[in-house]
Structure 1
Amino acid sequence: MDRLAGERDALVQQLAFHRETLLEKVDGLGDDELRRPMTGSGLNLLGLVRHLTVTEHGWFLVIFAGEPDPYADLVDDAEFRVDDDVPSADVLDRYRETCARADAVVAAGGLDDVVTTPWGAEVNLRAILTHMIQETARHNGHADLMREAIDGTTGS
């Protein structure tokens, strides 16, 4: 990570770091471990990955880039749930693909480019990047605790 980065590079690097940290938290776990409910609400590691996929897609691809929202029909906490018939590898691949598509949107956009959210608020790319860094880092804290409870793995 470049410690003398400009604003754009610093934001992009931080988001990339936190995305990679999430993937490290799930690395080496089997399907049962990824799906194991770790909280009273049933939250699990695979659900965190799906939530961050939906969130990345929503902010970068739907709100900023104006693409259709395939997740628009999700209600309540459905974005944290993964059906049993959906392979874990597919969920992880979708996260990686969504991040790559989001990176292309970020590369083409200016930090001061403004869009209007579906709820009528104006937001620029800088704020979206900052939000996604915060969102991913916050859920990495959850992933840290879940992974440690599953197999004792800590770090990063």
Structure 2
Amino acid sequence: MVFTSPVERATPDRLADERESLTQQLDLHRATLLRKLDGLDDEQLRRRPMPTSGLNLLGLVKHLAETEHGWFVRIYGGLPEPDLFPTDGEPDADFRIGPDEKVDELVGQYLRTCERARALVAAGGLDDVATTPSGARANLRAILVHLIQETARHNGHADFIREAIDGTTGH
């Protein structure tokens, strides 16, 4: 089955206030990630690692779901929830796709996590401060900027992976 992104990519309003600018940029990069998957089948999304690390498009989706969950739900929201994808202490395990993990389930988890993050951000103030597990303090503004850069950075990885799969660029 060929993947079709369930979300549209919207152009951010360049006259928006600070909160809207930050959240619209994050939503743009979230939608861009899923557009990188458009038109590819299950094998292309999970079994074609390009770099020697084994990174693939579906692994990026899984990692970013875990990252959004960690920063917005656990750290900022303060909700005592477990990791979405237990790693047993193994570094970068959230990038790897197990044979029983399904494309629609991982993309669905990513979309649900993004929706929860949007709700938490909408209910909070940009100057609200959270404490990370290491004891560092960060306000919601800094967390949003971090997630924008994290998602945009991985979209760059997705660009290279997608081009290596079928030549699609600028997608």
Q: TM-score range by the shorter chain?
A: over 0.9
Match of 2:137 among 102, 122, 144: 122
Mapped to 2, the partners of 1:109 and 1:27 lie a distance apart of: 33
Aligned match for 2:68, one of 56, 63, 66: 56
Distance 2:50 2:99 in 1: 16
**Structure 1: tracts of 5 or more residues without a match:** none
Q: Using the aligned pairs only, state the percent identity.
A: 62
Q: Is the 1:115–1:122 contact (alpha carbons within 8 Å) kept by the matching residues of 2?
A: yes
Deviating runs (4+, > 6 A) in structure 1?
none
1:66 aligns to 2:81 (yes or no): no
- Select between 77-86 and 127-136 the one with higher mean Cα deviation: 77-86
For 1:7 and 1:80, the matched residues in 2 are separated by 32
TM-score normalized by the length of structure 2: 0.88
Cα displacement (A) at 1:29: 0.9
Task: Tell me, in whole angstroms, the C-alpha distance in 1 between the residues paired with 2:164 and 2:62.
Answer: 20
Q: What does 1:86-101 correspond to in 2, within 5 Å?
A: 86-101=101-116
For residues 38-91 of structure 1, give each alpha carbon's deviation from its aligned partner in whole angstroms, at most 9, with x where no partner exists.
110111100011000000000000000012122484221101011111111111
Residue of structure 2 equivalent to 1:142: 157
Contact kept in structure 1, 2:66 and 2:85, CA below 8 Å? no
Could you tell me whether the CA contact under 8 Å between 2:50 and 2:161 is conserved in 1? Answer: yes
The count of residues paired between Structure 1 and Structure 2 equals 156
Aligned to 1:26, the other structure's residue is in SS state coil
2:38 pairs with 1:38 = no
Name the one with the larger helix percent. Answer: 1
**Which blocks of at least 5 consecutive residues in structure 2 are unaligned?**
1-11
Q: Which has the higher contact order (CA 8 A, sep 6+)?
A: 1
Q: How many angstroms does 1:122 deviate by?
A: 0.7
8 Å CA contact 1:57–1:102 kept in 2: the answer is: yes
**Greater CA drift, 65-74 or 103-112:** 65-74
